[in-house]
């Protein structure tokens, strides 16, 4: 159990680039102190990396998300790339491309991610989720992370991308290594190797889809045209990479976090189980509570002032969703898990021009998991220790042993 974040800890001493900072720490307490004492905080430079700004208040985070004039994503959008000086996908991948090209690629992909286009996909998500939850409930004990949550988002995004069934386990393992780890000894080289393997995989799949297109998203990218010209190889491959990672992590970690939250807050499980709260409001609170993507980042393209602090041209600015989603000026009693919370204007999917393309699908996947649990499970009990992820970007659990007692 995490102990309260000590008022004696110097905020300057915290290394937000170190994954260990985010395990075994009272994160709500830590971020509360940042918001109250240092809402616009300069994170000191260290050997081998520059310093950077840390924004922890909701209003500041939202303002930067909105402002694609003073800030750019094209030098990277997470610490891992920003601190290295840039992202090789910049100008190619939607997440790290700005301006007209960003809008054009997004418009091309939006056709595949509209609620209407996704309706049959969502039905498949519900069916697959029901089968998995029924299976583990009949068995009783399971690792909810590995036996249920791992299989839902990856299968869905692979369906959309047209990834053959035999390749999906391989991609799931690469995904888990690319942005986080279950092992504290996991190195940046391991993560880089996993990312490169994903890129190589989609390069080969896109080549095949050019010759034999189907109705999947890889085919949309491989055969799509903008202003009469085909997308570049880099645009095709990097956007496949972005979709496979983004389409898996947020939903998977939210489902796992939901079950952990129900164990810690049985009163909220009772409300969901009894139908007192809607699935829609429950999904939004789970997303706020877990906030799987802890931060995104930008680089300032001109000098400006944020809350009295001079942010200079070229400075790295990080936006901490995990703090913004617990800001008491926006969320009443933010450290209370409340499935009936409304309004719930969280930033778990970001905000502004780079708002998550797959937000509708992500919500549908979490709703499918909560709906299946509500119908089939009577009681959720822990069975052993949960294991955290090690990441400075993603927040959640890699393992969650539980006993699901059937209500049927």
Sign of CA dihedral 77, 78, 80, 82: positive
Residue 5's pLDDT band (cuts 50, 70, 90): confident
Q: Classify residue 43 by its DSSP letter.
A: E
Which residue is it, tokens 């949309």? 220
Reduced to 3 states (helix: H, G, I; strand: E, B; else coil), residue 178 is helix
Range 23-47 burial, b when 16+ CB lie within 10 A, else e = beeebbbbbbbbbeeebbbebeeee
Residue 169's pLDDT is what? 86
User: What pLDDT digit, counting tens, does each position of 40-82 carry?
Assistant: 999 999 888 999 999 999 999 999 999 999 999 999 999 999 9
Average pLDDT for 92-100:
95
Model pTM score? 0.93
Residue 140's pLDDT is what? 87
Identify the bridge partners of residue 41 per DSSP, sorted by sequence position: 54
The candidate with the shortest Cα–Cα distance to 236, out of 252, 225, 247, 251, is 225
What token pair was written down for 63? 């303002």
**Mean pLDDT of the chain, nearest integer:** 93
User: What pLDDT digit, counting tens, does each position of 150-208 carry?
Assistant: 999 988 988 899 998 899 888 888 887 876 556 566 577 788 888 899 999 999 999 99
Q: Classify residue 354 by its DSSP letter.
A: G
Sign of CA dihedral 341, 29, 257, 287: positive
Residue 3's pLDDT is what? 62
**Own/partner long-range contacts of 386-389 (Cβ < 8 Å, ≥24 apart):** 386/260, 387/182, 388/23, 389/19, 389/180, 389/181, 389/182, 389/253
The phi, psi pair for 170, rounded to 5°, reads -60, -45
d(CA 88, CA 78): 13
What token pair was written down for 82? 């920003």
**4 vs 79, which has greater pLDDT?**
79
Residue 185's pLDDT is what? 60
Q: Is the separation of the CB atoms in 394 and 253 below 8 Å?
A: yes
Residue 407's pLDDT is what? 86
Identify the bridge partners of residue 225 per DSSP, sorted by sequence position: 230
**188 vs 29, which has greater pLDDT?**
29
**Strands, E assignment, 62-101:** 71-72
Average pLDDT for 218-238:
95
Radius of gyration of the chain, Cα coordinates, nearest whole angstrom = 21
What phi-psi label fits residue 314: left (phi over 0), alpha (psi between -120 and 50 degrees) or beta? left
**195 vs 343, which has greater pLDDT?**
343
Reduced to 3 states (helix: H, G, I; strand: E, B; else coil), residue 207 is helix
Q: Cα angle vertex 284, ends 279, 287, to 5°?
A: 120
- Angle, helices 233-264 vs 152-161, to 10°: value is 160
Residue 182's pLDDT is what? 60
Q: Is the separation of the CB atoms in 296 and 348 below 8 Å?
A: no
What token pair was written down for 340? 């009936």
d(CA 121, CA 329): 37
Query: What number of CA atoms fall less than 13 Å from residue 378's CA on the CB side?
Result: 6
The contacts of residue 383 (CB under 8 Å, 6+ apart) are 141, 401, 402, 403
Average pLDDT for 363-373:
97
Q: Is the separation of the CB atoms in 307 and 39 below 8 Å?
A: yes
Q: Classify residue 8 by its DSSP letter.
A: T
User: What pLDDT digit, counting tens, does each position of 285-336 carry?
Assistant: 999 999 999 999 999 999 999 999 999 999 999 999 999 999 999 999 999 9
Q: Is the pLDDT of residue 1 over 50?
A: no
Q: Is the pLDDT of residue 378 over 90?
A: yes
Walk me through the domains of the chain, giving residue ranges and CATH numbers: 11-400 (1.10.630.10)
């Amino acid at each position: 159990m995490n102990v309260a974040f000590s008022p004696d800890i110097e905020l300057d001493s915290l290394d937000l680039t170190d994954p260990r900072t985010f395990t075994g720490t009272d994160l709500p307490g830590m971020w509360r102190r940042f918001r109250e004492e240092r809402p616009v905080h300069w994170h000191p430079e260290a050997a081998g990396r520059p310093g950077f700004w840390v924004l922890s208040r909701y209003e500041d985070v939202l303002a930067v998300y909105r402002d694609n004039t003073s800030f750019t994503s094209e030098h990277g959008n997470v610490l891992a790339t920003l601190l290295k000086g840039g992202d090789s996908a910049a100008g190619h991948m939607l997440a790290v491309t700005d301006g007209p090209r960003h809008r054009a690629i997004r418009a091309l992909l939006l056709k595949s991610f509209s609620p209407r286009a996704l309706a049959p996909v969502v039905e498949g998500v519900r069916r697959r989720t029901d089968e998995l939850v029924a299976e583990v409930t009949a068995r009783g004990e399971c690792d909810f992370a590995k036996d249920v949550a791992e299989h839902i988002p990856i299968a869905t995004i692979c369906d959309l991308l047209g990834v053959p069934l035999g390749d999906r386990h391989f991609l799931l393992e690469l995904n888990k290594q690319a942005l986080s780890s279950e092992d504290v000894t996991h190195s940046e080289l391991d993560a880089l190797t996993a990312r490169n393997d994903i890129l190589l995989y989609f390069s080969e799949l896109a080549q095949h889809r050019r010759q034999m297109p189907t109705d999947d998203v890889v085919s949309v990218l491989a055969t799509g045209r903008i202003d009469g010209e085909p997308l570049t190889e880099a645009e095709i491959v990097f956007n496949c990479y972005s979709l496979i990672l983004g389409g898996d992590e947020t939903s998977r970690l939210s489902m796992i976090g939901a079950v952990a939250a129900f164990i810690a807050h049985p009163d909220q499980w009772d409300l969901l189980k009894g139908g007192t709260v809607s699935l829609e409001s429950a999904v939004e609170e789970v997303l706020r509570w877990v906030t799987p993507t802890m931060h995104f980042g930008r680089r300032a393209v001109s000098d400006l002032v944020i809350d009295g602090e001079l942010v200079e041209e070229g400075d790295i600015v990080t936006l901490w969703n995990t703090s913004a989603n617990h800001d008491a000026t926006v969320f009443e009693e933010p450290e209370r898990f409340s499935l009936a919370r409304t309004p719930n204007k969280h930033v778990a999917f970001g905000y502004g021009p780079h708002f998550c393309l797959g937000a509708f699908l992500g919500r549908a996947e979490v709703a499918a998991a909560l709906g299946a649990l509500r119908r089939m499970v009577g009681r959720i009990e822990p069975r052993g220790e949960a294991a955290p992820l090690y990441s400075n970007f993603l927040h959640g659990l890699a393992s969650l042993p539980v006993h699901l007692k059937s209500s049927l």
